[in-house]
Amino acid sequence: MYYAISFALMIGFTVAANVFLKAGAIVPAAERTIPGLCDWRTLLGFACFGTSAVIYSGVLQSMPLNMAQSIAASQFVAVILASAVILAEPIPPVRLFGILLIVAGIAIVAFSHKSSDGAEPAAAANAEEASR
């Protein structure tokens, strides 16, 4: 449950960060909070990215990087879907197909740990025995 909540929060903050960065980027330069440089939305986007990174580093304390990063790839799907819902950006059918492939890959990696948990120690034991 810890991982599900952590990844949901991380992905939520990453989605918010991207949407805020986009919203800040389209503000005319003269109307930005820091004139010519960035808007408050951009700064909030950076804060959301930072929050997401802190949550992700907590996940990495107890999960292998290869698995964590594979599951974290869900953020790409979430950002694309948020851009369609919040920013009304179109998603062509080919891109939708690509999103489905990403989701399938994430599912395979996420559920692969159940079948490999017992196999890794056995493989390590076999390798150790073979080296004797």
Quick: pLDDT tens for 58-85.
Answer: 999 998 898 888 888 889 999 999 999 9
Are the C-beta atoms of residues 76 and 102 closer than 8 Å to each other? Answer: yes
Size of the chain in residues: 132
User: 100-131: per-residue pLDDT in tens?
Assistant: 999 998 888 878 866 555 444 444 444 444 44
Q: Cα separation of 48 and 42, whole Å?
A: 10
Exposure string over 48-80, b if 16+ CB within 10 A, otherwise e: bbebbeebbeebeeebeeebbebbbbbbbbbbb
Residue 17 has pLDDT above 90, yes or no: yes
Per-residue pLDDT, averaged over 25-43, amounts to 85
- Domain tally, the chain: 1
Task: Provide the residue range defining the domain that includes 100.
Answer: 2-130
Q: How confident is the model at residue 132 (pLDDT cuts 50, 70, 90)?
A: very low
Query: Structure tokens of 90?
Result: 């179109």
